[in-house]
Structure formats: C-alpha cells, structure tokens
Structure 1
Amino acid sequence: MNLFAVKLEGTRCGLIKSFLEDNYVCAGDPVVGDLETSGREDIRSTLAASGAYQEQELEEALSSLDAFVNVMQDGDYVLIADEEWVYLGDLGDYFYDGREENMKGGTAHRRGVTWLKSLPRSGVNSAVQALLASDKEVTRYSGVLPAARMDLWLADSSAGDGEAVHSPARVDEATIAEALAVLKAALHSPDAERRERAAAAILHYAR
C-alpha cells in the first residue's frame, strides 16, 4: 500500500468538486492517448512523438504519467488539496476518457477514487504538508505508513477539537450509496486483501 499526492494546477484547480462528486482523479496530458497497456518506455516514446515536450519537460511529464498509470495501484491512497482542505481517497484502476482527449489540461487520464475523509489543510501532519508541497504533479510518500486508520495518521496530533476529521460534505447521498454498494460487492472478492480493505472502509464509514 502506498500514499500519493496529486497536485492540482492550472485548469484542474477548479475540478475538486467534480472529483469528489464523480469519484475520480486525473493527471497528465490527455493528448497522448490511452496508456492503459503502456509501460514507462512506451510512454516516453509517445510523449517524444507528440512533439510537445523537450528534455526536462519530457522527463517531468514522463514521471507524472508513469506514476499515475503504472506505479499507482488499486487499493493505494491518494491526496488532493485546495487552499483550505485535504481530501483522502482509496484509488481504483486507471482508465482513459476519450471525450477529453483533445483538451489541453483536460481530464482524460483518470483513476476511480472512493473518497474517505477530508481534513483542514492546517490540521495535517508535517509529513503530509511536505508531500502536498512537492513540485511534482504526482508524488509518492516515501515514509512508513500505518497499517490502519490512515485518516488518523494524516492529522496533526496537536490540532484542536475544532480541526477534527470529517467526511467530505460535497458528496451527495446517491454517490455514497453507490460507493457502499461497490464496497459490499468487494466483500465477496476472491482476493483476501481486497475483502479486508472493503470491510475496513465499511466499518470506518459506519462510525
């Protein structure tokens, strides 16, 4: 299990509401097409052939897309943030939304997300603050993560009661019901780890 931060810049800064309501997150330039079966060197070749990147820019774009497509895995955790709040989610698989493929800075490269909690940005711990401050579009946390209750680990233990963790208010009831249905189905998965994650998420929501 890994924790990633996805940095929102440019036109994506205004997409948090869409991310939370439609249960996804995006990264990378959509003009390079679907990368579902692409390894790191395949992505490098595609970026180079596009003519949009040179040298350092190409390496930065490669790093972001490869991390988003290949390094992130179903069941990892992701953080996004605006100026006031940090949102924690459980990542799903990569998929490509071709409707966005001609839009620079669009949202074609996506991963499904089950959003779990949000915290005041001022109330997260120093490790999370550093992760969110990274210049990279996609950054993996390199430290040791807890075995359970990720939301409690995120919070600064010195924060007051007024900075308590809470569920993202902008997710509607229908979306919550749909997400719970997915988790309930995952309880019957042949993958033991997936069953445990689903059970933990359901119990966590019920608290």
Structure 2
Amino acid sequence: MDEGKAASVKLFYIQSIVDGVSKVKSFLEDNYVGIPWSALGDLEQVSLEEVAELLKHRYGLVDDKLSEILEAASLFADGINDGDYVVIKDEDWMYVGDIGDYYYDDSVGTSDDLICHRRGVTWLGQVPLEEINEHMQSLLNEPKVVAPFELPVTKARLDQVFGWKNEPTKPEPSEHAARTALFDIQSGQVDQATIEEALAVLKEALRSKDEQVRVTAATSILQYAKL
C-alpha cells in the first residue's frame, strides 16, 4: 500500500477481551472484529436515543459509563469506514487488518457472551508487541472498547505489514548501473566529481539484494583500484 492511501484511511483499536474472555482466536479464525451488547439489536436500525434507553434498561448503564458505551457503539457502527484499518492484541502480538462494513449477526442468539455487532476483517499481518512504537503502545493501552488512532496512520510505523516508509527510498541499484559507472571511470573522459559519483553508485550497488549486482559492483571497484 502506498502513502497516498495511508493518508486517506484511519486506524482503530478494538478491545478483544469481552467479560474477561479473549476473543482474539475467534476474531482471527472467523475474520471479523466485534463489540458486545448484542441485545441492542442492529445498530443501523435504531437511533442513538433508542440505544441509550436500551443500555439503561437492559444493561443498567448510567452517567459516564452510559456515555462511554454509547460512543463506542456509535463509532463502531458509523464512525469506521470500509477500508480503514484495525488492530487487536493478545499477550504477545498485535494483529493488523483491513476492516469492512458493519453488520449484525444474531443467527445463534443475542446472549451477552456472543458478539453480534461485527465488521468483517481481512487480516494483513502481525507485529510483536515489543517492536511497536510509543504511539501504538499508547493506543493499545486505551481502556475504551473502540479507540481511534489520533495521528496519521503512517505514524503507527507498521512498516513490517504495509511497507510504508517515512522517507523516500532510493531505487535498487541495477547491474546496468554498476557497469555504466565502471565505464564512466575507465573512459578517462570524466572529471573527478563524476568519478566520485560513479564510485558512489558502485558502493550503493554493493548493498543490493541481487547477488549478481553485488558481484559486478565489487569487480568494478577492484578494477578501478588497479587503474
């Protein structure tokens, strides 16, 4: 994924512990994330006022707790867009996915141990918790059921998953570039500045992932040393 798309999407953390039970295994195996309070019904079919009343009477929530859960339900149903990103965690890993549309699945019931409010997820990868940066550490320590990442997604530094880079990267040196640099040096028709530039190309090629490029660069540098 390129940085252009990264600038247009948002990242959210979804709690995976429901009533003291981890839902990570289910989320990963069945490709979804969800929030509790299944008895609220389909959140796309009820108003916030109706949800508030249900939270009061069905779950006994009042005041700050009521506001917190109402906010989480609203954000999960309406504040996340198809194509945004989601992270969940267990004791060792953070899992990253591309999140889909909201849907309500009450096919097996609406008891409190079930997750009926769902969004499909395409899981993209996982990152050891010990390797995530301070911004993501802060997000994963959020007590909220649904928490948005308040910074641009690239600040999450999920390079392992997406390949994003904060700085432009140089193109991979090619065998042609290495041979061209040697020709420039051997031709004797270039000034010292050009020679130094050509040597820089060869030195860069020594770090190439392509073995043939590395061999060509090394050979070229050794030949130059004999001039």
Normalising by structure 1, we get a TM-score of 0.66
Q: Is the 8 A contact 1:8 1:80 kept in 2?
A: yes
One of 88, 110, 116 as aligned partner of 1:108: 116
3-state SS of paired residue (2:147): strand
Residue 17 of structure 1 corresponds to 25
* Aligned residue runs from structure 1 range 105-184, under 5 A: 105-146=113-154, 151-152=158-159
Residue 66 of structure 1 corresponds to 74
AA paired with 1:43? V
Unmatched tracts of structure 2, length 5 or more = 1-8, 163-227
| 1:115-167 CA distance string (max 9 Å, x none) | 001010111111111000001010001112239x9731889xxxxxxxxxxxx
Q: Is the 8 A contact 1:44 1:62 kept in 2?
A: yes
| 1:24-65 CA distance string (max 9 Å, x none) | 001131111111234544433442353521112211110111
For the pair shown, the structure with the greater C-alpha radius of gyration is: 2
CA pair 101-67 structure 1, distance change in 2 beyond 3 A = farther
Per mean C-alpha deviation after superposition, the further-off stretch among 2-11 and 65-74 is: 2-11
Unmatched tracts of structure 1, length 5 or more = 156-207
Residue 36 of structure 1 corresponds to 44
CA distance in 2, matches of 1:102, 1:92: 22
AA paired with 1:60? E
AA paired with 1:110? R
AA paired with 1:77? Y
Normalising by structure 2, we get a TM-score of 0.61
Q: CA deviation at 1:18?
A: 1.4
Aligned-pair identity (%): 34
| Equivalences, count | 154
CA distance in 1, matches of 2:134, 2:11: 15
Per mean C-alpha deviation after superposition, the further-off stretch among 43-52 and 108-117 is: 43-52
Q: Quick one: higher RCO (CA 8 Å, sep 6+), 1 or 2?
A: 1
One of 105, 117, 123 as aligned partner of 1:97: 105
3-state SS of paired residue (1:80): strand
